[in-house]
A and B are shown apart, each in its own frame.
Chain A
Amino acid sequence: SPTGDSWGIFTFLCAALCNLPALPALNCSEELGAGQSIQQTYDLTRYLEHQLRTLAGTYLNYLGPPFNEPDFNPPRLARAERVPSATVDLDLWRGLTDNARLAANYRAYSRLLCYLRVLDGQVGTAELRHRLAHFCASLQGLVLSIGGVMSSLGYPLPAGPAAPPAPPGAPAAPNDFLKKMDDFWLLKELQTWLWRSAKDFNRLKKKVPPAVVTLRLEARGF
């Protein structure tokens, strides 16, 4: 399993450090949290990606054809830009610092969560509302998880909390059809972000443990 290696490293480190007689009792799980948190966040994005497939299928069927057709690709109108885009230049993406990488994810999911919650309030069928509510709860978990990783690495959380109301400047969709298009793009962007996040967190996984952990312990004078 993908978690196997990380657990191995984690337990080894824990055992090694806790056995050193000079050290006072360490709470291993707290001190060595960053690597594990990143793995958990990665796992969460995969889980959400899976959940989204079912949610999107149900939702697009609710919108009706052509929204649920496989090759559907409507124009992306200016108004839809308020949904943060995962699409980014490859070199730019590679060059992101850990902080910038995490912050982009944090900001994106906070905004997406907001828009999804608005959707939840408007949607017609009880089944959809139920699925959306469940998905929002999981997405909230992801936002918190990313925040946790940022904190454990010493990065400040991006300004602008997870719940700005619909930006006052941008109008709500002026008609029902345009609203359906907005909903379609919201789901599409969510899907893209989850794919991208898996790659973001994979990259972070390789860079963060255990080097950062060792450094932090040294800094504390042990």
Chain B
Amino acid sequence: TQLAHYRTLHNWFFPSLSVSPAADPAVISPQDPTLLIGSSLVATCTVSPDFPLKAEDLYWTLNGRRLPAASYTALGPSTLSVALARLNGSRQQSGDNLVCHSRDGGILAGSCLYVGLPPEKPVNITCWSKNMKDLTCKWAPGTEGETFLHTNYTLKYKRRWYGQDNTCQEYHTAGTYSCHIPKDLALFTPYEIWVEASNRLGVAVSDVVMLDILDVVTTDPPSDVHVSRVGDLEDQLSVRWSSPPALKDFLFQAKYQIQYRVEDSSEWKVGGHRRCRGTARGGRGSGCSHLVPLQVVDDVGNQTSCRLAGLRPGTVYFVQVRCNPFSIYGSKKAGIWSDWSNPTAASTPRSERVAGGCDPKGGEQNTTLRRELKQFFGWVKKHAYGCSNLGIKLYDQWRVWLQKSHKTRNQVGKEP
């Protein structure tokens, strides 16, 4: 529609035909008032003496819609008033357009009506500091945002017991209701932080939040996350990462969390702390659902690593790591978890020979006995070197053999 409108100007060779009067044709009162929702208003339009228009030549529109003549009253030969009752909140934040027209539709004057509500106290102020260098805070408006008027938010902060208020300058860094304080922040001292909301109808101040920068420290996610196979082991992957560089300078430790998922699933599984303690459930209802403890701990200087176990063979896994600084300058508290690192992927090996494995191939795969045997063989593989030939496959072969020789019943009992 705008396009069509502008196209009418395409004959720009010809001068504009609009009249350009020297003085305003009419005056509206009140001009640009601010009103509370539900209030009523009587507005008047007075035509300038230079113009040959009378009250009966005028009409009103509000936001482009003509107002009923029943609400008009002529207050003088060239003054027409309109009564508006129980106003709704403004249709747009720039104000409702109340316009006084001459009979032929021409605009004589207009007034912007700002109808709305005063702001409510902003709530839920949360802050975090990236590596103790800055502070970012976000909050939520008190109402679900709808005051119908443009509302300005100002984040203020000051050091407790030190007097001077400071105003945050960089807004919208982490969403609409957020602000970033880039420098000049002191450590080991409590700050008071609050948000002021103001619009044409009033001001509202949030509750004051008190915090020490050291309480809300977060850091970058770990870098150089690598996921690799563990030899030929089909159900394990090794994850390695580097601690974020900022950690080195700041005398704090870090704990890590890993999450991983299968390629075609959206469900993340979370594994342990720095020492990778925790459990993981492998697979999904195909003879692989068993609990397996995660392996552990290779803390090699700066780099840290962890082993994921109980995984499905021949499957692609996505892995992410995140980091939480704690024991900052000796404090007991934990910081705030960093973002997850970008996902890294790797696949578990799939041996050609494993016929049974985790593929659903018949009821007997799900028996408790078989499950337990598989766990046993898994354990054997890890703890008893030289038994690599022993595996669930051998058991499967024995079962097959058993079924075949089942036909010759009188022989079953004698087999070892």
Point out residues on A near B: beta carbons under 8 Å.
53, 56-57, 60-78, 81, 85-90, 93, 124-126, 175-178, 180-181, 188, 191-192, 195-196
Choose among A68, A74, A192 the residue that contacts B9 (Cβ–Cβ < 8 A): A192
- Bound state CA distance, A201 and B104, in angstroms? 40
11 contacts between A and B (CB under 8 A): A53-B6, A60-B2, A67-B97, A70-B2, A74-B18, A75-B18, A75-B107, A88-B13, A93-B13, A176-B32, A180-B112
Which residues in window 11-38 of B have CB below 8 A to A? Answer: 12-16, 18-22, 24-25, 28, 31-32
Whether a CB of chain A sits under 8 angstroms from the CB of B79 is no
- Bound state CA distance, A177 and B98, in angstroms? 9
Whether a CB of chain A sits under 8 angstroms from the CB of B361 is no
Query: Which chain A residue has the least Cβ–Cβ distance from B2?
Result: A57
Point out residues on B near A: beta carbons under 8 Å.
1-6, 9-10, 12-16, 18-22, 24-25, 28, 31-32, 61, 63-65, 91-97, 99, 106-107, 109-112, 150, 172, 176
List chain A residues, Cβ under 8 A from B172. Answer: 126
Contact present for B4 and A125 (CB under 8 Å): no
Choose among B10, B19, B110 the residue that contacts A195 (Cβ–Cβ < 8 A): B10
Contact present for A124 and B150 (CB under 8 Å): yes
Other 12 A-B pairs with CB < 8 A, given A87-B14, A177-B97 = A64-B91, A65-B64, A66-B61, A66-B99, A68-B2, A75-B18, A75-B106, A88-B12, A89-B13, A90-B13, A176-B31, A180-B112
List chain A residues, Cβ under 8 A from B93. Answer: 62, 124-125
List chain A residues, Cβ under 8 A from B176. Answer: 126
List chain A residues, Cβ under 8 A from B24. Answer: 77, 178
List chain A residues, Cβ under 8 A from B22. Answer: 78
Contact present for A64 and B96 (CB under 8 Å): yes
List chain A residues, Cβ under 8 A from B12. Answer: 86-88, 192, 195-196
* A180 CB to nearest chain B CB (Å): 7
- Bound state CA distance, A100 and B176, in angstroms? 46
Per CB-CB distance, the 5 closest pairs between chain A and chain B, nearest first, are A65-B64, A177-B110, A64-B92, A66-B64, A176-B112
* A88 CB to nearest chain B CB (Å): 7
- Bound state CA distance, A144 and B24, in angstroms? 38
Contact present for A191 and B9 (CB under 8 Å): yes
Query: Which chain A residue has the least Cβ–Cβ distance from B6?
Result: A191
Contact present for B107 and A74 (CB under 8 Å): yes
* B337 CB to nearest chain A CB (Å): 28
Query: Which chain A residue has the least Cβ–Cβ distance from B111?
Result: A177
Question: Contacts A90-B13, A124-B93, A176-B32 hold; do A70 and B64 have CB atoms under 8 A apart?
Answer: no
- Bound state CA distance, A81 and B13, in angstroms? 18
- Bound state CA distance, A57 and B1, in angstroms? 9
- Bound state CA distance, A195 and B4, in angstroms? 14
List chain A residues, Cβ under 8 A from B2. Answer: 53, 56-57, 60, 68, 70
List chain B residues, Cβ under 8 A from A180. Answer: 94, 97, 110, 112
Contact present for B94 and A62 (CB under 8 Å): yes
List chain B residues, Cβ under 8 A from A85. Answer: 16
List chain B residues, Cβ under 8 A from A57. Answer: 2
- Bound state CA distance, A206 and B323, in angstroms? 63
Choose among B1, B14, B32 the residue that contacts A177 (Cβ–Cβ < 8 A): B32
List chain B residues, Cβ under 8 A from A70. Answer: 1-2, 4-5
Query: Which chain B residue has the least Cβ–Cβ distance from A85?
Result: B16
- Bound state CA distance, A73 and B63, in angstroms? 15
List chain B residues, Cβ under 8 A from A86. Answer: 12
Contact present for A124 and B21 (CB under 8 Å): no
Contact present for B94 and A64 (CB under 8 Å): yes
- Bound state CA distance, A63 and B252, in angstroms? 53
* B373 CB to nearest chain A CB (Å): 63
Contact present for B64 and A77 (CB under 8 Å): no
List chain A residues, Cβ under 8 A from B3. Answer: 53
Contact present for A87 and B21 (CB under 8 Å): no
Contact present for A77 and B95 (CB under 8 Å): no
Query: Which chain A residue has the least Cβ–Cβ distance from B23?
Result: A78
Contact present for B95 and A176 (CB under 8 Å): yes
Choose among A53, A65, A175 the residue that contacts B63 (Cβ–Cβ < 8 A): A65
- Bound state CA distance, A213 and B25, in angstroms? 56
Query: Which chain A residue has the least Cβ–Cβ distance from B107?
Result: A74
List chain B residues, Cβ under 8 A from A65. Answer: 63-65, 91, 97
Contact present for B5 and A64 (CB under 8 Å): no
Question: Contacts A70-B4, A75-B19, A77-B24 hold; do A177 and B9 have CB atoms under 8 A apart?
Answer: no
Contact present for B31 and A175 (CB under 8 Å): yes
Choose among A71, A74, A93, A181 the residue that contacts B5 (Cβ–Cβ < 8 A): A71
- Bound state CA distance, A86 and B3, in angstroms? 18
List chain B residues, Cβ under 8 A from A74. Answer: 18, 107
List chain B residues, Cβ under 8 A from A175. Answer: 31-32, 111-112
Contact present for B97 and A124 (CB under 8 Å): no
Query: Which chain B residue has the least Cβ–Cβ distance from A127?
Result: B176
List chain A residues, Cβ under 8 A from B94. Answer: 62-64, 124, 176, 180
List chain B residues, Cβ under 8 A from A77. Answer: 20-21, 24
- Bound state CA distance, A89 and B12, in angstroms? 9
Contact present for A72 and B110 (CB under 8 Å): no
List chain A residues, Cβ under 8 A from B99. Answer: 66, 177
- Bound state CA distance, A89 and B14, in angstroms? 6
List chain B residues, Cβ under 8 A from A72. Answer: 5
* B135 CB to nearest chain A CB (Å): 21
Query: Which chain A residue has the least Cβ–Cβ distance from B172?
Result: A126
List chain A residues, Cβ under 8 A from B110. Answer: 177-178, 180-181
* B112 CB to nearest chain A CB (Å): 4
